[in-house]
Structure 1
Amino acid sequence: MIKNNAVLATVVFAMAVTVSSVSYTFYQLYENNRAKHIDNIFSKHSLISQIYHTYLVKQISQPIFEANLALYNLDEVLDHHAYEAIVRYGKVLKSDGNTADDLMQDFSLPSSSFDTHVSQQVITSMIEYQGNIYFWVESARHSMLLEDRSIEPYHPVNLISAYGTLMMILLTSFALIIYRLRPLRHLRKQIARFGEGDMGVRFRISGSDEIALIANELDSTQNKIRALIEARTLFLRNIMHELKTPIAKGRIVATMLSDEKQRGRFEGIFERLESLIGEFALIEEIASGNQHHQKSEYRLIDIIDGAIDLAMVEYDAVERNIDASIKVEVDYRLFVTAAKNLIDNAIKYSPEKKMRIWTEEGEIIFANTGEVLKHPLGYYIEPFTKEAPTKDSFGLGLYIVDAILKEHDYILAYERRGEYNCFICVPAKIKRR
């Protein structure tokens, strides 16, 4: 499936990589901006810690401490239940800790003023709860929760808008690419139909893009091919028709000859010409692919019997060892012709004028005794080639056999087995050892 839609798969893969990359980049931007926002807010914690520590060491009174908190929009959370809920369920954004000595260094006050106080840890944590920001300040002696009314949690509205806009552009581009590629699937189906011999198929597509230009060029080429095929078919039919008429007249005239030797010679010549025309017609039918052959199941033994009748040889000359239950799905007329040519070829080149036919693991074997072939099988499959000149052969027999077998998904093979030359019809789906 992927091989048949490689272009679409590539586009989908590229789209997935692009979306993933953009999404990851925006996620990193979100994390970085959020971290900076939190850091900027948390920078306020040092001031809160200093105010809290001065209050702790009794350097400022309660009213002044509350006034300092109000100055920075900080309210102490006094409700016990709210305090517990925020501390327990709030999300800690950041936390830091400083000793009293560290805090004193931030003040330009003499450290001797605080020699009587024990150095202690002050921890400030920034908490987000229900859309509000809180500072939880702790020490060994006291803790308090402050709500910052001037600060809001980080809301990446602009970032989300930019991400959504970019995703919309990418998805729209992807949809446009898929829309533009749709004619390719239709074009592929049309080409497949044309390859199967449907000459009425049309490739033309409206538009001026690259796919439409290719389709229209294919349509123009198809018209030229159709014209060539029609011209060739008309030419061959006319030639065959024109040849058959003088041949028929010649055979009639030959019967009027008083010399039997001359009469037999002329009749043989006209029979050869008729046979040649018939073979040409069969070759044209197979090669053109215009005919839609009707394949059905037939018993192999019936096909062999029909081939023997067509070859006009004696049944005693053909030794058959075929199971009557074996069936093959073929075009009867064509397959009988192929078998006939193999039988005729085997008997013609057999010193005994006999041959054998049998099946073996799905293969159909036509064998005769005689000399081993002087050339590879491919030499004899070519048209107008034969082992030795004879008056009864035009060198088209094996060429026709090979063409018919290919139409039926068979392969013609040759083996020398002892004294036998074996021509084997091998189903293409069988892997030979």
Structure 2
Amino acid sequence: MIKNISISTFVNIIFFFAFLGIFLTFATFISYDKQRHELNIQNRYELIAENFLILFQDHPTPTRLVELYKKFSVKPIDDRDRRLEIIKYAQELTITQNYLGTYRVYKYDESYYIYVQQYGYNIMLRDTKSHNYNMAFIVAGFIVALSTFLLLYEILNRKLRPLKILNRQIIEFSNGNKDIKLNYKSRDEVGTIARNFNEAINIINNQSKSKDLFMRNMMHELKTPITKAMFIAETLEDEKARDNLQRAFKRMDDIIKELATVEKLTSKNTMIYKEKVDFSTIFDKTIDLMMINNQNVESRIEDFSFDVDIYMMSIALKNLIDNAIKFSKDKKASVQADKSSIKIGSTGEPLKNELSFYTDAFYQEEKRSNGFGLGLYIVNTIVNLHKFTLVYEHKDGKNYFNINLTN
């Protein structure tokens, strides 16, 4: 699962757990420090009480008591009513009894009191030292740690931000925007990737321009002699020879148009122009493009209207029917169409591989020496541009290529 998350998300998760660790560490430290603070107070009052109990055994003078008051920073409570009030309403923290006597520790109005009792002596002392727990130092430490943590997080995010920009620009480039140029000038790893990406873009653009120039020149150079040859063929007196030559030249012209269509589709800048049209119109245009008679095509059509690019859809249908006739055993194809699908069928052996294997550009099985391996690639691309799907199945000795019009 970790392999499938982005770097930025992974960093955010790490910093979240790091922040949680810092918070829990400080919370644990505060809890421990409070316990230590309370233990120190308890030890102090135990020491004060034992000193007074020992002094009581020697029948102390007022002077010695005053010395002990000063030594431990305590003050006696002489008012009997005040002592009774404290005993009655204060929070009793501890009560300890030993061979020297008994002492209790009270907390009342944010002050601590020690009540020491021994046979013949009874004294209540107020601790004049402040023992309120102060978290200022801990809070300051937490703020410093948190500030450092957030600073590191921001620095790391800034270092990762160019990666996000790089990813967006790579996606734009893959969608056909060839004018992408990364301006990240840093010499770190991201800068190296950006420079290499710019170089790759330049190479790809140069190759694409060379390919486009080659394709345009090749089609131009081929189209001119073919056009001239078609005019010359019309002057032949032998009707059969004339028809054969014209059919051959027309086929060569169709091949050039097919190559132009492939060039257009592979450029990823293809625009389709949809309009509402009857399927029968598409079918008739397809038959005209193929220059065949209907004897080779058996059709069962429930006419319907749909939004398509007429030329593109005719090209797709032409390629499917052409393949069906070319590679069938009886050189015939069947066309079934309704508003949900268009199905092209022909007799033959099932395909050896998955359909995706045959829709790669320029793929061609060895036995298919008469084609360029472009038919199914063109069909699949046009079908996808229309948001339809192309499906293959072999049933009852027939191959069926089905264009699903509803998803």
Q: Confirm or deny a common fold (TM above 0.5).
A: yes
Instruction: Name the residue aligned to 1:194.
Output: 173
Instruction: Name the residue aligned to 1:29.
Output: 29
- Specify which of 124, 134, 150 is matched with residue 171 of structure 1: 150
CA distance in 2, matches of 1:59, 1:295: 114
Q: Are 1:243 and 2:222 counterparts?
A: yes
Give matches, 1:39-118, under 5 Å. 39-50=39-50, 52-53=52-53, 59-60=59-60, 65=65, 68-77=68-77, 84=85, 88=89, 95-99=94-98, 101=99, 103=100
Give matches, 1:136-147, under 5 Å. 136-137=114-115, 145-147=124-126
Q: Secondary structure at the match of 1:291?
A: coil
CA distance in 1, matches of 2:21, 2:188: 30
Cα deviation for residue 177 of structure 1 reads 1.3
Which amino acid in structure 1 is aligned with residue 193 of structure 2?
A: I
CA 1:384–1:182 in structure 2 vs 1: closer, same or farther (change >3 Å)? closer
Instruction: Name the residue aligned to 2:343.
Output: 365
Q: What is the identity percentage for the equivalent residue pairs of Structure 1 and Structure 2?
A: 26
CA 1:353–1:160 in structure 2 vs 1: closer, same or farther (change >3 Å)? closer
Contact 1:183-1:211 within 8 A present in 2 as well = yes
Q: Which moved more, 1:279-288 or 1:150-159?
A: 150-159
Instruction: Name the residue aligned to 1:224.
Output: 203
CA 1:297–1:191 in structure 2 vs 1: closer, same or farther (change >3 Å)? farther
> Which stretches in structure 2 are left out of the alignment for 5+ residues?
none
Contact 1:363-1:425 within 8 A present in 2 as well = yes
Cα deviation for residue 250 of structure 1 reads 1.3
CA 1:416–1:175 in structure 2 vs 1: closer, same or farther (change >3 Å)? closer
Instruction: Name the residue aligned to 2:400.
Output: 422
CA distance in 1, matches of 2:330, 2:65: 128
Q: TM-score, normalised by structure 2?
A: 0.80
Contact 1:299-1:324 within 8 A present in 2 as well = yes
Q: Secondary structure at the match of 2:6?
A: helix
Q: Are 1:20 and 2:20 counterparts?
A: yes
CA distance in 2, matches of 1:272, 1:309: 12
Instruction: Name the residue aligned to 1:113.
Output: none
Cα deviation for residue 366 of structure 1 reads 1.5
CA 1:32–1:352 in structure 2 vs 1: closer, same or farther (change >3 Å)? closer
Deviations 1:116-174 (A, max 9, x none): xxxx6x243263854x5x13326699976532224443424433333322221111111
Q: Which moved more, 1:401-410 or 1:268-277?
A: 401-410
CA distance in 1, matches of 2:125, 2:278: 97
Cα deviation for residue 65 of structure 1 reads 4.3
- Specify which of 297, 305, 320 is matched with residue 342 of structure 1: 320
Aligned residues: 399
Which amino acid in structure 2 is aligned with residue 97 of structure 1?
A: T
CA distance in 1, matches of 2:302, 2:82: 98
Contact 1:320-1:358 within 8 A present in 2 as well = yes
Instruction: Name the residue aligned to 1:185.
Output: 164
Which amino acid in structure 1 is aligned with residue 7 of structure 2?
A: V
CA 1:138–1:273 in structure 2 vs 1: closer, same or farther (change >3 Å)? same
Q: Which moved more, 1:160-169 or 1:399-408?
A: 399-408
Cα deviation for residue 25 of structure 1 reads 2.5
CA distance in 2, matches of 1:192, 1:295: 27
CA 1:136–1:380 in structure 2 vs 1: closer, same or farther (change >3 Å)? closer
Cα deviation for residue 86 of structure 1 reads 9.5
Give matches, 1:247-326, under 5 Å. 247-294=226-273, 303-312=282-291, 317-322=297-302, 324=304
Instruction: Name the residue aligned to 1:127.
Output: 107
CA distance in 2, matches of 1:19, 1:389: 66
Deviations 1:357-382 (A, max 9, x none): 1359x5432224x3445755758656
CA distance in 1, matches of 2:125, 2:281: 102
CA 1:295–1:76 in structure 2 vs 1: closer, same or farther (change >3 Å)? farther
Q: Which moved more, 1:141-150 or 1:156-165?
A: 141-150
CA distance in 1, matches of 2:291, 2:69: 120
CA distance in 2, matches of 1:85, 1:314: 116
Cα deviation for residue 9 of structure 1 reads 1.8
Which amino acid in structure 1 is aligned with residue 11 of structure 2?
A: V
CA 1:384–1:49 in structure 2 vs 1: closer, same or farther (change >3 Å)? closer
Instruction: Name the residue aligned to 1:401.
Output: 379
CA 1:383–1:15 in structure 2 vs 1: closer, same or farther (change >3 Å)? closer
Q: Which moved more, 1:199-208 or 1:400-409?
A: 400-409
CA distance in 1, matches of 2:351, 2:63: 121
Q: Which moved more, 1:346-355 or 1:213-222?
A: 346-355
CA distance in 1, matches of 2:373, 2:50: 111
Contact 1:77-1:83 within 8 A present in 2 as well = no
CA 1:248–1:154 in structure 2 vs 1: closer, same or farther (change >3 Å)? same
CA distance in 1, matches of 2:175, 2:390: 23
CA distance in 2, matches of 1:171, 1:14: 13
CA distance in 2, matches of 1:59, 1:423: 115
Give matches, 1:379-394, under 5 Å. 383=363, 385=365
CA distance in 2, matches of 1:76, 1:294: 101
CA 1:417–1:42 in structure 2 vs 1: closer, same or farther (change >3 Å)? closer
Contact 1:341-1:397 within 8 A present in 2 as well = yes
CA distance in 2, matches of 1:402, 1:66: 104
Instruction: Name the residue aligned to 1:106.
Output: none
Cα deviation for residue 203 of structure 1 reads 2.1
Deviations 1:235-292 (A, max 9, x none): 1100100111111111122222333343333323322221211111111211232324
Which amino acid in structure 1 is aligned with residue 15 of structure 2?
A: M
Cα deviation for residue 301 of structure 1 reads 5.7
Aligned Cα root-mean-square deviation (Å): 3.9
